[in-house]
Amino acid sequence: MRPPPSIPPRFGLDPARMRLPVSQEWATIRDHLVTRVPLPAAQVDAMFDAGRFHDAEGPLPIDAPYVSGGSVWFHRDLPDEAPVPFGIDVACRDDRVLVADKPHFLATIPRGRHVRETALVRLRDEHGLPDLSPAHRLDRVTAGLVLFVIHREDRGTFQNLFRDRRVSKTYEAITRYDPTLPREQVVRSRIVKERGIVTAREVDGEPNAETLVELVDHRDDPLVGPVARYRLTPRTGRTHQLRLHLCSLGIPILGDPFYPDLRDVPLDDLRTPLQLLARTLSWPDPASGEAVTVHSRRTLQAWDDPAGWLAGPAGTSRRCPTR
């Protein structure tokens, strides 16, 4: 159910919808809310006075009678967020999709402590696209291409392209150079991600993750030492798949705060971005069937501007669980 027009998006975010239980326990909606929302009763009353609670007809007065099974919409108070001082480029846009070229350190969608400082909220607000939604996601610390769908009615079409593996993606990564590794290889493993644990891990068993790893170039840089530039083509989409697969080869991605060591890095520490970039996206146009390919214009600093990239990682570390 869409929110009522009387409560428009704020910072590009739709209001939260709260469904009222089927019950006759409360005389007013206010009586129910003070038992349900994690706020002092005085703050709930102040929100009513400010007209922040709405039903389908508009703002609710503080004495609005309880409606069993009804709905209430309101904007939550947003957390304090560390600003991400990097813009989002638009790599491609037509009537149905917008492909964003996301910077490092910007989450794709609101989650936890990241709300306004996310690609979705920024793009909705900057481009006036209230129904914009991502067809897939990119890690906060990874830069590059993310496909967003402009209209609600097209969401399923583009999400199904990803579900059916009809979208091709390539990534670029910078690692330490190991001359003993082959120039091209396919890495397969079984990756599991447990709820409540930030890292994934490889375990024994039938592989569920596969990545083509190709060495593009390497050099001995006077600032960061022997480095290599890899092209990565994932054939599956497991959490942290590329990061784990390069780590398993002994060449973890430069700037990785998770692998092989989990480092506690403050959210506002933007000194050493993960050197991983979603370089290309390709998909068949749903209407014509013609192939569409988009390229990121971003670069990886450890390769193109090593003097501006701090080789020394920030934060303290603790060892991650291994296979």
302 touches 308 (CB < 8 A) = no
**Among candidate residues 188, 102, 199, the one with its CA nearest the CA of residue 142:** 102
Boundary residue ending a domain (26, 50, 74) = 74
Give 2-50 pLDDT, tens digit per residue.
Answer: 788 888 887 777 888 999 999 888 999 999 999 888 888 999 999 999 9
Q: Is position 176 within any domain?
A: yes
The total of structural domains in the chain comes to: 2
Pairing of strands 16-19, 71-74: antiparallel
- Cα 5 from Cα 1, distance rounded (Å): 12
pLDDT band of 222, cuts 50, 70, 90: confident
Q: Is position 227 within any domain?
A: yes
- Cα 267 from Cα 82, distance rounded (Å): 7
Q: Which domain holds residue 264?
A: 89-319
Pair (246, 183) in one structural domain: yes
Amino acid identity, position 127: H
pLDDT band of 62, cuts 50, 70, 90: very high
Give 63-95 pLDDT, tens digit per residue.
Answer: 999 999 999 999 888 777 778 889 999 999 999
| Residue 319 clears pLDDT 90, i.e. is over it | no
**Among candidate residues 82, 142, 149, 81, the one with its CA nearest the CA of residue 108:** 142
Pair (124, 258) in one structural domain: yes
Pair (178, 282) in one structural domain: yes
pLDDT of residue 310: 53
Q: Is position 80 within any domain?
A: no
Q: What is the mean pLDDT of the chain?
A: 89
Q: Is position 2 within any domain?
A: no
Burial class (CB in 10 A: 0-12, 13-18, 19+), 311: middle
| Residue 311 clears pLDDT 50, i.e. is over it | no
Give 234-274 pLDDT, tens digit per residue.
Answer: 999 999 999 999 999 999 999 999 999 888 877 777 778 99
Pair (185, 58) in one structural domain: no
| Residue 321 clears pLDDT 60, i.e. is over it | no
Pair (42, 184) in one structural domain: no
Please compute the mean of the pLDDT values over residues 285-302 and round it to a whole number. 93
101 touches 31 (CB < 8 A) = no
This prediction has a pTM of 0.81
Distances (CA, A) of 284 to 92, 212, 232, 255: 15, 22, 21, 34
- Cα 259 from Cα 276, distance rounded (Å): 13
Phi, psi of 121, deg, nearest 5: -65, -45
Give 116-139 pLDDT, tens digit per residue.
Answer: 889 999 999 899 998 899 999 999
pLDDT of residue 60: 93
**Among candidate residues 274, 257, 275, the one with its CA nearest the CA of residue 266:** 257
pLDDT of residue 171: 98
Pair (114, 24) in one structural domain: no
CATH code for the domain of 247:
3.30.2350.10
Pair (43, 139) in one structural domain: no
Pair (163, 206) in one structural domain: yes
Q: Is position 261 within any domain?
A: yes
Higher pLDDT, 217 or 197: 217
Q: Is position 141 within any domain?
A: yes
Pair (67, 99) in one structural domain: no
Pair (248, 100) in one structural domain: yes
pLDDT of residue 37: 85
Q: Is position 1 within any domain?
A: no
pLDDT of residue 80: 76
- Token pair recorded at residue 6: 């009387």
- Cα 118 from Cα 103, distance rounded (Å): 10
Give 149-202 pLDDT, tens digit per residue.
Answer: 999 899 999 999 999 999 999 999 999 999 999 999 999 999 999 988 889 999
pLDDT band of 114, cuts 50, 70, 90: confident
Q: Is position 131 within any domain?
A: yes
Pair (219, 315) in one structural domain: yes
pLDDT of residue 11: 75
Pair (191, 126) in one structural domain: yes
